[in-house]
Amino acid sequence: MDSVDLEVLKSSVRWLDAGHRALLVTVVKTWGSSPRPQGAMLVVRDDGLVVGSVSGGCIEDDLIDRVRREGVTIARPEAVKYGITAEEAHRFGLPCGGTIQLVLEPLSEASNLRALLETVERGELVARTLDMATGQATLGPASATDGVDFDGARLLTIHGPRYRMLVIGAGQLSRYLCQIAAGLDYQVTVCDPREEYTDTWDVPGTTLVRTMPDDTVLDMKLDERCAVIALTHDPKLDDLALMEALKTRAFYVGALGSRRNNAARRERLKEFDLSEAELARLHGPVGIYIGSRTPPEIAVSILAEVTAAKNGVSLPTILQVEGAKAAREQAAGAGSTCDA
């Protein structure tokens, strides 16, 4: 599964190769409520075909209509604003009077998109600087903490995986989870020393390593933009990863298992000299409670919790697996008492 931005880049290069003109549109600034964040992109082909998104759909419709009527007529990048007045906010579907500023960039060889796409597909993080006066784009190194920067003369955007995810175990659940995680812009590493699982691993966009999980955690030098998810059900593998991951700055560390297994895991991890604060960081049972039973549903549940943690959203206990199941059992018990 491609990320949204990767789909935009691939389509842009493909359309240019086919001889089409195309307009790359990037969100550079928002005020108030806005459907899409800074850096969001779409590309519009000269016949109105579009890939990507910069709003809830209404701005896209306006851009498509403009290209269909006029073609890609601008010769150099230009900045435009939508939603300045309440009438425009209503017309373009911007909630609460929000305003969005976009850079419209007519694509050409000077856009340097092929080199950008190749760098991103190698899993590298890269900064692209667009000169508004000339339309020339240059590439350079970037860090995960960099963001969109637009001063009217140049536009700096960051491309590639800004978050990393380490998944312990190459089983069936991991396949679904990693496919979705790649689409969420994670640079995914799967660690499993068991040959019976790794020999059949073939998920595109992921890196497979066969080293021991604790060594992998140390080698990856996890930071605050990393997530670790243990999925093997094998304490010899999961615990090794968790005991090291909980000591790092990873924003999310979780493990699959029942409530009983999770309690036993916490007792085992105490033997590794983990502090109470470090143990408290462990998400387990992993995921939010959506009644999931199949591997794809469980993957969605897990990544929903990871996404909340990444975005700084604190989930109420009733949404967490342990809290939700305990509440259901309590409700069932109260119902039995009333019936009696």
User: Rounded to whole angstroms, how far apart are CA atoms 4 and 205?
Assistant: 14
Side by side, which strands form the sheet with 137-141? 137-141, 126-131, 154-159, 149-150
Is 303 within the bounds of a domain?
A: yes
pLDDT value for 32:
66
User: Rounded to whole angstroms, how far apart are CA atoms 340 and 330?
Assistant: 16
Task: Decide: helix, strand or coil at residue 98.
Answer: coil
DSSP-assigned letter for residue 290: S
What does the H/E/C string look like for 65-81? HHHHHHCCCCCCCEEEE
Task: Quote the number of domains for the chain.
Answer: 2
pLDDT value for 300:
97
Which of 124, 159, 194 is the last residue before a domain boundary? 159
Render pLDDT for 263-283 as a digit per residue (tens, 0 to 9): 999 999 988 888 899 999 999
Do residues 150 and 259 both lie within one domain? no
User: Rounded to whole angstroms, how far apart are CA atoms 133 and 154?
Assistant: 8
Nearest in space to 181 (alpha carbons), one of 87, 302, 93, 267: 302
Query: Residue 56: left (phi > 0), alpha (psi -120 to 50), or beta?
Result: alpha
Is 267 within the bounds of a domain?
A: yes
Instruction: Select the more confidently predicted residue: 122 or 7.
Output: 7
Is 329 within the bounds of a domain?
A: no
Do residues 154 and 171 both lie within one domain? no
Is 140 within the bounds of a domain?
A: yes
Percent of the chain with pLDDT over 70: 89
- For residue 304, is pLDDT > 50? yes
User: Rounded to whole angstroms, how far apart are CA atoms 66 and 47?
Assistant: 10
Do residues 89 and 186 both lie within one domain? no
pLDDT value for 87:
62
Is 76 within the bounds of a domain?
A: yes
Do residues 135 and 283 both lie within one domain? no
- Asked whether 50 and 64 are in contact (CB, 8 A), the reply is yes
Mean pLDDT of 24-52: 88
DSSP characters over 232-266: S--HHHHHHHHHHHTTS--SEEEE---HHHHHHHH
Is 336 within the bounds of a domain?
A: no
Is 338 within the bounds of a domain?
A: no
CATH of the domain at 219: 3.40.50.720
Do residues 120 and 81 both lie within one domain? yes
pLDDT value for 338:
46
> Domain containing 188: what range?
163-323
> If you compute the radius of gyration of the chain from its CA atoms, what whole number of angstroms results?
23
Phi, psi of 112 (to 5 degrees): 60, 35
Do residues 86 and 47 both lie within one domain? yes
Tokens in use for 143? Answer: 């860090």
Do residues 209 and 70 both lie within one domain? no
Render pLDDT for 120-173 as a digit per residue (tens, 0 to 9): 888 788 999 999 999 999 999 988 777 899 999 999 999 987 789 999 999 999
Mean pLDDT of 57-64: 85
pLDDT value for 149:
94
Mean pLDDT of 31-44: 81
DSSP characters over 5-56: HHHHHHHHHHHHHTT--EEEEEEEEEESS-SS-TT-EEEEETTS-EEE-SSS
Mean pLDDT of 233-254: 94
Contacts of 73 (CB under 8 A, 6+ apart): none
Which of 159, 185, 208 is the last residue before a domain boundary? 159
pLDDT value for 34:
62
pTM assigned to the model: 0.70
pLDDT value for 99:
81
Mean pLDDT of 171-197: 94
Residue with tokens 């896209």: 60
pLDDT value for 97:
55
Beta strands 163-168; 226-230: pairing state: parallel
Is 335 within the bounds of a domain?
A: no
- Asked whether 211 and 191 are in contact (CB, 8 A), the reply is yes
Do residues 153 and 185 both lie within one domain? no
- For residue 192, is pLDDT > 90? yes
Instruction: Select the more confidently predicted residue: 217 or 85.
Output: 217
Render pLDDT for 194-223 as a digit per residue (tens, 0 to 9): 999 999 999 988 999 999 999 999 999 998
Q: Which long-range contacts (C-beta less than 8 Å, at least 24 apart) are formed by 288-296?
A: 288/315, 288/319, 288/320, 288/321, 288/324, 289/318, 289/319, 289/320, 289/321, 289/323, 289/324, 289/325, 295/172, 295/173, 295/175, 295/176, 296/176
Do residues 133 and 253 both lie within one domain? no
Do residues 206 and 252 both lie within one domain? yes
Q: Which run of H or of E encompasses 147?
A: none
Which of 111, 134, 159 is the last residue before a domain boundary? 159
Do residues 145 and 203 both lie within one domain? no
- Asked whether 16 and 43 are in contact (CB, 8 A), the reply is no
Percent of the chain with pLDDT over 90: 63
Do residues 203 and 97 both lie within one domain? no
